[in-house]
Amino acid sequence: MAELERSNHELRIGLLTDALPDRALGKVVEWVARTGLIRDLEIGVGGYSPAPHCRPAELVGHAGAAAAWRKPIDDAGLGISALNVSGNPLHPNPDEARRHDADLRQAIRLAAELGIDRIVAMSGCPGAAASDRSAPHFSGGGWLPDLERIADWQWRERVAPYWLEISEFARREHPDLLICFELHPGTYVFNFETFTRARHLGANLGVNLDPSHFFWQSMDPLALVEAIGDRIGHAHGKDTTLHAERLALNGMLDCRWPNPPDEMPWNFATVGRGHDKEWWAKFVGLLRDKGFSGTISIEYEDPFVLVEESILESARFLSSVI
């Protein structure tokens, strides 16, 4: 199992299997095994993921079902680095919130049954006030009076109470589990300051370190690794290309993103196409220095490179620096 490998202080290359949604799990396992480079799978199980390779409701509480589902992965000599249930359990629409909350709790139970000690999740984002039932409100800053203090209300009334309870729930269901927040704009916990608040809600709340989201915010992923340290429980392999001439005109906050990709100031990219080997070697080395011994899981989102080509190129590149 992937979680048992962590004690060996070995970094491994993985794949978020949502990249191949039209293939059955067995076919994904066969293709991944043939690469000879990818050793772990990250499995989408709900939230924003359509969960193409796993149906938690068919596994949790059904004797032998989880082990049978996992058998092809084990037989191929692959591990499972994490279950991915990134979603918005704090959505102001109660139906959406209930669905994503149920997916998160089910993922925690499934991780316990499978012996997986990492879940990748998002903190979610509430509305702007208790009466808001329409859309999440990401409070990027109080530049205007109407936007002031919304983030304080969200933290006090929605974010902190919810994640305090989820931390306690996870501790009861699966004491060895670390829930790894993907720090992503549009969710409440998206940078160092907001994670610093969240980490105090429970020792089982950590970070899925995806450098691509920091590049386009003009943040330094290396500084984030230094600052977050041993709360990094999982990582994504994904790059970002930045286009200076487009940034000069429209900045990072282009509301058209991601389309049309050839006009965007930035795009997600195959690993190595945005930042060179020297940068990625520093990233990997710093993760090791901070005690990280888990998986860097390739997440495919490059609009210009076909999926198999992008995954293989990313895997070869990461292999050259690990």
Show the tokens assigned to 204.
């089982």
Contact in structure between 287 and 235 (CB atoms under 8 Å)? yes
pLDDT digits (tens, 9 = 90+) for 86-95: 999 999 999 9
Question: CA–CA separation, 200 vs 229, rounded Å?
Answer: 15
pLDDT digits (tens, 9 = 90+) for 14-42: 999 999 999 999 999 999 999 999 999 99
Question: CA–CA separation, 301 vs 202, rounded Å?
Answer: 31
Tokens 């203090």 appear where?
149
H helix runs in the chain, sequence order:
2-5, 25-35, 56-59, 65-75, 94-114, 150-154, 160-173, 192-199, 211-215, 221-228, 244-250, 277-289, 307-321
What share of the chain has pLDDT > 70, as a percent?
Answer: 97
* Sequence ranges of the domains in the chain: 2-321
Question: CA–CA separation, 310 vs 268, rounded Å?
Answer: 11
Domain 2-321 classified CATH 3.30.70.2470? no
Q: What pLDDT, on a 0 to 100 scale, did the predictor assign at position 157?
A: 97
Show the tokens assigned to 104.
């998160």
Q: What pLDDT, on a 0 to 100 scale, did the predictor assign at position 55?
A: 96
Q: What pLDDT, on a 0 to 100 scale, did the predictor assign at position 152?
A: 94
Question: CA–CA separation, 190 vs 183, rounded Å?
Answer: 4
**Nearest by Cα to 300 from 31, 15, 37, 106:** 15
pLDDT digits (tens, 9 = 90+) for 142-191: 677 877 889 999 999 999 999 999 999 999 999 999 999 999 999 999 99
What share of the chain has pLDDT > 90, as a percent?
Answer: 91
Average pLDDT of the chain to the nearest whole number: 95
Helix (H) or strand (E) segment spanning residue 9 = none
Question: CA–CA separation, 115 vs 95, rounded Å?
Answer: 30
- CB atoms under 10 Å from CB of 163, counted, come to 25
Averaged pLDDT for residues 204-218: 96
Question: Three-state DSSP class for 42?
Answer: strand
